[in-house]
Structure 1
Amino acid sequence: MAVGVPVMQMARVRQNYLAILVAAIACFLLEAGWYTVFMNTWLNGIGRTMQWLVNSGMNPYLQYATALVMAVLMATALSCVIQLTGKQTALRGIKVGALLWAGFEMTTWSTEYIFEVRPISLFLVNAGYWLFGMMLMGAIVGAWKKKA
């Protein structure tokens, strides 16, 4: 090995699947509460009514399963990033969740909404949920370390 060349060591990710599942379920429950509170704002923003949603023919089990599976994937990704970038703590998890939200979620929603000419109220409901959801999942997977 050359003198003066730094050696990088691979960080080891140890996924805590129970923490990931709990984080995903917590985010899923937050989503249920969030969209219950902001239901009218959300419906107005998407130009739909509750009656339309009920009569849409969409299988609610498929919708809920999709939401939960996607939350599991996001919690897994958050866990990886938290572990690979520093100390695993609840506070770092919250910070990583907020940073990833700002870098990916907010930017994606903003671009989409500006071109689709959607109301800012809808942006605040949808993007706001993901800010709190990602911070919540980050806190859980950040705080709950896998035992060696």
Structure 2
Amino acid sequence: MDFNLLAIIVAAFSALLVGFIWYHPKVFGTAWMQAADMTEEKMQGANMGKIFGLALLFSFFLAFALQFLTIHQSGAVSMVGGDVENALPSFHAFMEDYGTAFRTFKHGVLHGVIAGIFIAMPILGINALFERRSGKYILIHTGYWIVTLALMGGIVCAWQ
């Protein structure tokens, strides 16, 4: 399995795009500001270059990791120690038959949603509980991550 750097980059940027929409004041931005106790003054004092640069870097990490959750062939490659050139003929026959199985946008979306519900939501929920945040805060962020991971998963899985 080869990593598709372009797919990872596009998926990483998609997280920012969804964020621009999701946290827009006409969508969930105003509700998020209230739930997060965020004010316009606090937002004005932020280093946005640093915030967006690190957000993109972290999104890149997520897109890279999502390949292993969405592309099942990576498990087959790991079974031969990653050395596909020296793998037995049976491995090559298997990959010839199943090398593109479940490599669809829809399949990636499914696994992205699963990751959002079973990975992102518990992490956000635990942090929010200890920070004494509301259920509304958890739902706004969890919704963002479910949608974002679904889109990212779809991109990295389908892009061959």
Q: Identify the residue that residue 43 of structure 1 maps to in structure 2.
A: 33
Q: How many residues align?
A: 131
| SS of equivalent residue, structure 1 residue 118 | coil
TM-score by length of 1: 0.81
The amino acid across from 1:44 in the alignment is Q
| SS of equivalent residue, structure 1 residue 74 | helix
Q: Which of the numbers 13, 18, 24 marks the counterpart of 1:25?
A: 13
Q: Aligned-pair distance for 1:68? A: 0.9
TM-score by length of 2: 0.76
Q: Identify the residue that residue 47 of structure 2 maps to in structure 1.
A: 59
The reply to whether residue 91 of structure 1 matches residue 106 of structure 2 is yes
Unaligned runs of 5+ in 1: 1-12
- Write the distance in 1 (CA, Å) between the matches of 2:148 and 2:133: 22
The reply to whether residue 142 of structure 1 matches residue 132 of structure 2 is no
Query: Please, what is the CA RMSD of the aligned residues?
Result: 1.5
The amino acid across from 1:113 in the alignment is A
% identical equivalent positions: 29
**Which structure has greater helix proportion?**
2
The reply to whether residue 73 of structure 1 matches residue 61 of structure 2 is yes
Q: Aligned-pair distance for 1:75? A: 0.7
| SS of equivalent residue, structure 1 residue 87 | coil
Q: Aligned-pair distance for 1:115? A: 2.9
- Residues 63, 152 of structure 2: 8 Å contact kept: yes
